[in-house]
């Protein structure tokens, strides 16, 4: 079959296998490139259909599509999903028994598979290379490709060695895929994987359905409970914490408050982590409290919120982690709380790491960019997208700074007071002591160093500790101050400080808001979907019955309910009430395999409900 026929066939496969009528932006162009044996790099937001870009060409073309994936959970999830659609797929990893691995290898050798998922560690073995030499290859797909880059937020050394495998099959096209990558990371992905720059496809970094909200820490446990109760009760969510100890503490706290919350971090046994992850994927209303060890490759579409209880490492990491919410396109929330202690702790982690000095400087700049996002008066979405080089102007109406604009004031004189105080105390102390001197608080430490005798002692009595803390954070974010993590978090002046001290530059500060104003935002939970049918008893009854049928089928097959059908498909069934095969096939997400497996079962539910309730 020539490439033209392959391209035509890809459109047919889109509908017959995956159940969609049309391609999303960029998908068809990428698929065509791969069918024509051209390599590509793909940066598209989570939930935008990256996987189809390599799955469809692998199904269309002769030969095996090899997918290199970093996590066993990710492989198993995608394999189960594709199997539901009738695709010939398998994964090869350490979770399989010897006999199971032999069966997969035999299926590869007999050309019985369209797709094979494999971890980078196994892909680099001579045994795997020899296996691939026995068969025709359609393509290589490198998923979560930001792991290739030493400058990315989730670098993995094995990914950097993948060119050792790929160079042995130079005629086979490769596609690198990730949801988030700044310019330096994108450049390294292309360089390491030998992908031409003209074949880089960037589908944008915006997740329009995600509402961004960032607040200062002020009784953080209460803030977390208030958020879950008022905004997200009954929904699935992820709460990220910086340390394993904090994960255990917050999970226990949420459990004591009556929530089904479970910890997840590398310190737990493999069996416990697997059980927790399966519970999260298969059930509704589960809250996972985790370090960043959790989430990559989790395809659960109905995660309604992601919370950062502590500051993440960078805007890149923040975007990747918040992107795990709302994969189904429905409204979702990204909520973060932070404090100055978080900045110091992150800075300390950077300086104490084994990375070289260049890497440490880059990580420090990324941390400052993240702090800038936290302290901005602009639209959050604008700051995030500009970080990735994507221009965004205007107001998004789906972040806290757009819906509840932040007031500003000219703080040049206040900045001069702080900078002078830091200079006169020899740049040896942290924010707390500097503020004590500013407000004239004669503590034991102040008396010990005789700072009550300084001219700056008490010059800031007009402002509270909270207000001075805010100004210091903003000066750090704007690079007028830096935190010396090697000297216990002492605050030092920077080269830019001189412009403020000499009045060559003025500076405005944001006024940290008090309790959030009441504003109408896009509610991000299952109630959004249910409310579509609230005024229609028949539709609501059908919705509940379809969900019951989906849940029973999922339990019988030991798969997550969304692998049977996502909520969007059920909603279309409620609205369109298909009564024959062609009508059922017209539902988004229904291909021929799912029609054969589930069409009669779900249409019988529709007929039963419509027959029992008077329309």
Give the CATH number of the domain where residue 603 resides.
1.10.150.80
Q: How far is CA 198 from the centre of its chain?
A: 27
For residue 524, tell me if it sits in a domain. Answer: no
For residue 364, tell me if it sits in a domain. Answer: yes
Q: Is 535 helix (H, G, I), strand (E, B) or coil?
A: coil
Question: Tokens 């102040």 identify what position?
Answer: 446
For residue 28, tell me if it sits in a domain. Answer: yes
Nearest alpha carbon to residue 325 among 419, 175, 212, 426: 212
Q: Are residues 274 and 398 in the same domain?
A: yes
For residue 286, tell me if it sits in a domain. Answer: yes
Q: Are residues 465 and 395 in the same domain?
A: no
Give the CATH number of the domain where residue 98 resides.
3.40.50.300
pLDDT for residue 335 is more than 50 = yes
DSSP result, 274-286: HHHHHHHHHSSS-
pLDDT for residue 378 is more than 50 = yes
Q: Where among 508, 540, 557 does a domain terminate?
A: 508
For residue 514, tell me if it sits in a domain. Answer: no
Q: Where among 202, 228, 244 does a domain terminate?
A: 202
Q: Is 537 helix (H, G, I), strand (E, B) or coil?
A: helix
Q: Angle, to 10 degrees, between the axis of helix 27-35 and the axis of helix 3-16?
A: 140
pLDDT band at 154 (very low <50, low <70, confident <90, very high): low
For residue 447, tell me if it sits in a domain. Answer: yes
Could you list the residue range(s) of the whole structural domain that residue 569 is in? Answer: 532-612
For residue 513, tell me if it sits in a domain. Answer: no
**pLDDT, tens only, 4-43:** 565 668 999 999 999 999 998 899 999 999 999 999 999 9
For residue 348, tell me if it sits in a domain. Answer: yes
DSSP state, 8?
Answer: H
Within 8 A by CB and 6+ apart from 473, the residues are 340, 343, 371, 374, 375
**pLDDT, tens only, 57-81:** 999 999 999 999 987 877 888 899 9
Task: Please state, rounded to an integer, the average pLDDT across all residues of the chain.
Answer: 88
Q: Are residues 239 and 378 in the same domain?
A: yes
Q: Where among 202, 219, 235 does a domain terminate?
A: 202
**pLDDT, tens only, 504-557:** 889 999 887 655 544 444 433 444 444 566 668 888 899 999 999 999 999 999
Q: Are residues 262 and 326 in the same domain?
A: yes
Q: Are residues 84 and 37 in the same domain?
A: yes
- Count of domains observed in the chain: 4
């Amino acid at each position: 079959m020539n490439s033209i026929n392959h391209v035509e066939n890809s459109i047919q496969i889109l509908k017959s296998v995956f159940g969609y009528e049309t391609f999303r932006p960029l998908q068809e162009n990428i698929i065509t490139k791969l069918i024509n044996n051209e390599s590509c790099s793909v940066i598209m937001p989570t939930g935008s259909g990256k996987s189809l870009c390599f799955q469809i060409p692998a199904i269309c073309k002769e030969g095996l599509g090899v997918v290199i994936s970093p996590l066993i959970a990710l492989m198993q999830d995608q394999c189960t999903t594709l199997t539901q659609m009738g695709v010939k797929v398998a994964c090869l990893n350490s979770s399989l028994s010897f006999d199971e691995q032999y069966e997969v290898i035999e299926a590869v050798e007999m050309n019985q598979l369209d797709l094979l998922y494999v971890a980078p560690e196994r892909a680099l073995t001579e045994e795997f290379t020899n296996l691939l030499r026995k068969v025709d290859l359609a393509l290589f797909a490198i998923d979560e490709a930001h792991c290739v880059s030493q400058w990315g937020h989730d670098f993995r050394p094995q990914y950097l060695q993948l060119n050792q495998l790929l160079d042995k099959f130079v005629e086979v096209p490769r596609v690198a895929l990730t949801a988030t990558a700044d310019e330096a990371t994108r450049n390294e992905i292309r360089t390491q994987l030998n992908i031409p720059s003209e074949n880089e496809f960037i589908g944008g970094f915006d997740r329009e359905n995600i509402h961004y909200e960032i607040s200062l820490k002020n009784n953080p446990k209460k803030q977390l409970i208030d958020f879950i109760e008022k905004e997200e009760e009954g929904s699935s969510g992820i709460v990220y914490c910086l340390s394993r100890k904090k994960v255990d503490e917050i999970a226990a706290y949420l459990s004591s408050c009556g929530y089904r919350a479970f910890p997840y971090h590398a310190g737990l046994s493999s069996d416990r982590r697997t059980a927790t992850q399966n519970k999260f994927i298969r059930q509704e209303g589960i809250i996972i409290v985790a370090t960043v060890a959790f989430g990559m490759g989790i395809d659960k579409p109905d995660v309604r919120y992601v919370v950062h209880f502590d500051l993440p490492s960078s805007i890149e990491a923040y975007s990747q982690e918040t992107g795990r919410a709302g994969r189904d396109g429905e409204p979702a929330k990204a909520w973060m709380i932070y404090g100055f202690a978080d900045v110091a702790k992150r800075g300390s982690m950077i300086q104490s790491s084994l990375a070289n000095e260049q890497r440490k400087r880059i990580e420090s700049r990324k941390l400052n960019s993240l702090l800038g996002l936290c302290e901005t008066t602009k639209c959050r979405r604008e700051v995030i997208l500009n970080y990735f080089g994507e221009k965004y102007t205007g107001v998004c109406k789906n972040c806290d700074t757009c819906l509840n604009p932040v007031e500003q004031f000219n703080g040049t004189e206040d900045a001069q007071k702080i900078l002078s105080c830091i200079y006169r105390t020899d740049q040896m102390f942290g924010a707390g002591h500097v503020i004590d001197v500013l407000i004239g608080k004669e503590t034991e430490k102040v008396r010990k160093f005789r700072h009550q005798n300084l001219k700056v002692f008490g010059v800031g009595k007009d402002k509270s500790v909270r207000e001075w803390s805010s100004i210091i954070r903003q000066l750090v974010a704007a690079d007028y101050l830096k935190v010396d993590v090697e000297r216990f978090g002492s605050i030092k002046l920077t080269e830019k400080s001189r412009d403020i001290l000499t009045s060559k530059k003025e500076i405005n500060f944001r006024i940290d808001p008090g309790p959030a104003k009441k504003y109408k935002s896009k509610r991000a939970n299952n109630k959004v979907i249910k409310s579509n049918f609230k005024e229609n008893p028949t539709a609501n009854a059908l919705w509940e019955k379809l969900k019951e049928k989906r849940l029973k089928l999922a339990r019988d097959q030991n798969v997550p309910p969304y692998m049977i059908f996502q909520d969007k498909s059920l909603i279309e069934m409620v609205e369109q009430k298909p009564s024959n095969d062609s009508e059922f096939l017209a539902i988004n997400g229904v291909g021929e395999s799912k029609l054969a497996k589930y069409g009669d079962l779900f249409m019988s539910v529709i007929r039963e409900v419509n027959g029992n309730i008077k329309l």
